Structure 1
Amino acid sequence: MDQSTVVYGAVTIAVCGLASLYVALVIWSPPPIVTRPSETKYLSHASPKHAKPLPKLADPSTVDLTVVVPAYNETERLPIMLASTIDHLTSPALKNKHTFEVLIVDDGSSDGTSAAALKLAATYPKCDIRVVTLEQNLGKGGAVRHGMLFGGGERLLMVDADGASRFMDLELLWNAMDKLAPDNGAGVVVGSRAHLVKTEAVVKRSLVRNILMYGLHTILRIVGVGHIRDTQCGFKLFSRAAAQQIFPAQHLPTWIFDVELLLLAKELGIPVAEVPIEWHEVPGSKLNVVSASLQMLRDLLIVRANHLLGRWKAVPLKPKGA
């Protein structure tokens, strides 16, 4: 066998290998997230039977703040979280400071989360609490994305339904956003638990969860978001200008979606600030650590590969008047 034949064979194997990897990437990449007509409407205490249309992210804002709460089978933990949210936003110190709406996104729950959320909304009749029900379970990332795409806030906060984050720390994120993105520019402020790593709040977590945490940090440095010490805290504030660029480009519906959001912000040149917040672990997590770890590795590789190959792209906002 001459040298040219060997070279030709090696090139053929390499090309076939790369083609196989590309096909695998296409197959493993999640399909586009589909929004069904019923999911573009909401129920509320004021209209519990007749659904009303939600605003669109592309439209001008209608309130200062939208609080997006992804909820999957959260009838037990949602009442405490919602109480702390409303107590803070209606406190004397914040009276008339921010107009707001709370958008609870029921991610295809089977425990009556939507009905429970509407019942809770009735206990706060003066507050704009909206409930939208997804026809199928998408995953936390899909529920957050939906809430962001249909929120009316000039700023939009994602917050977990378990109440693990102290809601009053919103003001820390708000003040950081004022500095990061003045005049309603694009900006993202993430709540961070990094300062708690050696404290009781994290030390008391299970060994498996702490191993997962440290492993995740190592992988994140590899994929390009190592500059953010805590990517997974479910307490993040987006300016409307940032949300309009990031969330239409989001593909991952799974729990690691936060990393994709931060990668998109980096790609778009949107500034990101990280602010320490108080946090405590709340029982009742639905995360299976083993399966989530495997899914995490796969999804991070999928996100990075799709962005490197240009299959997934973020489109910057056009300047006004352009």
Structure 2
Amino acid sequence: MKITLALPAYNEEKILKDNVLKLLEFCSKNLTDDWQIVVADNGSTDQTAEIAQNLAQNFSAVKFIAAGQRGKGAAIRAAWEQNEADIYCFMDADLATDISALPALIAGVKAGQDLVIGSRFLAGSKVSRSLARKLISRIYRLILKILLNLKINDAPCGFKAISRKIKEKVLPQVQNNGWFFDSELVILAEKRGYKIKEIPVVWKDPREGLDKSRVDVFSLGREYLRQVIGLRRRLR
């Protein structure tokens, strides 16, 4: 069984090398399948692409691609579409979700789930983040439940695995190429009756104390609401 692990990266020169090496070591020790890590750069203006290329040259299990346009979704889409696999995963390059949950994520798809999601709202999850991020995460959850009656608890969590079926049947229908990409993927999969499972995770905001300005969570929240409303209209 072949597994593609996508790592979307935008201006991650400070953390990319260490995190890829950490992921490489973990996968080597804990995954028995044929796996590869695909670092997908989506228009970085720092040394991210150069670092990723160097890693790909030195480690056969690492591949580098340039997504060709900005946006987290564009990077994930490029990594998945350009690589054939049985299971497709992605995680944020900052490894906010502890990678110890990766075997469980993959095992869920192997067991017959179409999509497996890390959830920060399940019993057993351990989450450390700022008050602002806690607030915006709960607002996201409320928006999805009110406007779309979504049963999934944590659609935005950047730690997911999908089957080849989802890649072939649902991915082409996803229109967003930014931060809303994987939420849209989850929403479409649920509305079309695919089997989805959430698993508990350990999640820590690695940006705290390092780079708090990277994401304006409130501006992101407004954009998220706009995307949800647009998707709701499409689904009617």
Give the TM-score taking structure 1 as reference length. Answer: 0.67
1:119 corresponding residue in structure 2: 54
Q: Following superposition of structure 1 onto structure 2, how do residues 50-129 of structure 1 map, counting pairs within 5 Å?
A: 64-91=2-29, 93-94=30-31, 97-124=32-59, 127-129=60-62
Q: 5+ residue gaps in structure 1? A: 1-62, 182-186, 309-322
**Cα shift readout 1:135-168 (whole Å, capped 9, x = no counterpart):** 332x112221222222222101011100112223
Secondary structure of the residue that 2:199 maps to in structure 1?
strand
Structure with higher RCO (Cα < 8 A, 6+ apart):
2
Identity of paired residues, percent?
28
When residues 233 and 297 of structure 1 are mapped into structure 2, their CA distance, relative to the original with a 3 A threshold, is: same
Contact 1:225 1:263 in 2 (8 A): no
Structure 1 stretches of at least 4 aligned residues deviating more than 3 Å after TM superposition: 195-199
Q: Which amino acid aligns with 1:304?
A: R
CA contact (8 A) 1:75 1:112 kept: yes
Q: Structure 2 CA distance, aligned partners of 1:289 and 1:248?
A: 28
For this pair of structures, how many residues does the alignment match? 232
Hey, what's the Cα distance between the residues in 2 that align with 1:220 and 1:89?
33
Measure, in 1, the Cα distance between the counterparts of 2:206 and 2:227: 26
**TM-score, length-scaled by structure 2:** 0.90
The equivalent of 1:130 in structure 2 is 63
Q: Of the candidates 162, 167, 170, which is equivalent to residue 246 of structure 1?
A: 170
Greater strand fraction, Structure 1 or Structure 2: 2
How far residue 193 of structure 1 moved from its aligned partner, in angstroms, is 1.4
Matches within 5 A, 1:94-243: 94=31, 97-124=32-59, 127-137=60-70, 139-181=71-113, 187-195=114-122, 201-202=127-128, 205-224=129-148, 226-243=150-167
1:291 aligns with 2:223: no
Cα deviation code 1:218-276 (max 9, x no counterpart): 11102335311111111100111121112111101221222211121123321100011
Q: Do 2:125 and 2:201's aligned partners in 1 also have CA atoms closer than 8 Å?
A: no
**Cα 1:128/1:225, change in 2 over 3 Å:** farther
Q: 1:88 to 1:220 in 2, by over 3 A?
A: same
SS class of match (1:105): strand
